[in-house]
Homo-oligomer: A and B are copies of this chain.
Amino acid sequence: MKKHNFYAGPSILSQFTVENTAKAILDFNGSGLSIMEISHRSKEFIAVNQETIGLFKELLDIPTGYSVLLLHGGASLQFAMVPLNFLNNKAAYLDTGSWASKAIKEAKLIGEVDIVASSKDKNYSYIPQGWKVPSDADYLHITTNNTIFGTEIKTDLDVPVPLVADMSSDIFSRPLDVSKYGLIYGGAQKNLAPAGVAFVIIKNDLMDKVQKTVPTMLNYKVHAENESMFNTPPCVAIYAALQTLKWYKQKGGLKVIHKENLRKADLLYSEIDRNKIFKSTIPNPDDRSIMNVCFVMEDKYKDQEDAFNSFVSSKGVVGLKGHRSVGGFRASIYNALPYESVEVLVETMQEFEKKY
């Protein structure tokens, strides 16, 4: 039976990515060697690295004066790297969920943190509005998409200090105005590649502002100067990322992908709003993520959660269980998830409604 993969991450990748990666693991470019077995200093792998960075720049229309880094450690290491490199006076953070809170926790280990706003009061079910960034902050940190709670900042903000954004779960979901950002980072395991590589898009002049001694592996400038080859990179994950980026290009780029994502999100949110058994956990439609759709059962149907979980499993749906901090269900509908899988989920919700 065909599986419909709604995992929050690691999550669905394109068949193009899966098949080409498997092929390169058996035999990379007809070399007789596996992509796992070749030197990262070989001209073959250097070409993979450069093509990946080139497609990042092309697809996201990254202006000159920015570097793209492919690093170890996931977004969680970025939580520490950002303040280690840039927190001198104080840093501003917008608290919109668990991942934002983790980033705040790391920054507090390093220096003063000003939380400009938080939606913790309502279990992170909205994006705070009307907050101000202190003009003496070294940077403002935001988490654009909140994987666990299902909210998303869907525009590129204008702020008076360098804007640092964790885009782990919505990078490549829409065109971006990268010029609004000082630094964008994320783990790869949603819209890009298997877990094991993090990306950083960084404005070069930011790197010259570092005042402290930073461990070499945590120093952005070192990685930029070494074109992300300061140490052995996670070659397989980078190769898989390259396949995903090629697939995005073949599809027509981020405008096309964004349109598909909106269509998938509309279909699912419309059903959640219509269906009598379910409700969205995010009241304001403007705040609803187009990547992670969180929903719960109306109170009087709460005892049917297990029944619904079994029912969707029987249709080949996997990864729909909500995070324990929200409960209910979470449908992660990343770029690679076909429209058809959302249709299957929606039909299953309709069938379930008829049964009760």
Contacts and interface: CB of A to CB of B under 8 A. Distances in A.
Residue in A25, A74, A231 with the greatest tally of chain B CB atoms within 10 Å:
A25
Interface stretch (A118-126, A232-240, A299-307): A232-240
Contacts of A13: 34, 36-37
Contacts of A26: 18-19, 22
Interface string A1-24: 111010111111100011101110
Interface stretch (A48-56, A61-69, A215-223, A275-283): A215-223
Nearest to A75: B231
Interface in A114-143: none
A37 B198 CA distance: 16
Interface string A267-308: 000000000000000000000000000000000000000000
- Within the oligomer, what is the number of copies of this chain? 2
A150 interface: no
A87 interface: no
A256 interface: no
B194 A36 contact: yes
Interface stretch (A76-84, A89-97, A171-179, A345-353): A76-84
Nearest to A239: B194
A40 interface: yes
A19 B23 CA distance: 10
B236 A194 contact: yes
A60 interface: no
A334 B202 CA distance: 38
Contact of A38 (B10, B36, B84, B230): B10
A39 interface: yes
A21 B1 CA distance: 23
Nearest to A21: B25
Contacts of A74: 72, 231-232
Contacts of A25: 18, 21-22, 25
Given A7-B37, A18-B26, A76 B31 contact: no
A10 B232 contact: yes
A39 B10 contact: yes
A77 B217 contact: yes
A102 B236 CA distance: 25
Interface of A: 1-3, 5, 7-13, 17-19, 21-23, 25-26, 31-40, 42, 72-77, 79-80, 84, 102, 105-106, 109-110, 187, 189, 193-197, 213, 215-218, 230-237, 240, 316, 318-319
List of 8 A-B pairs having minimum Cβ-Cβ separation, nearest first: A196-B234, A36-B194, A80-B215, A76-B231, A3-B32, A22-B25, A195-B232, A72-B73
14 contacts: A3-B33, A7-B38, A7-B42, A9-B232, A18-B37, A21-B25, A22-B25, A72-B72, A75-B231, A80-B217, A80-B218, A102-B216, A196-B234, A236-B237
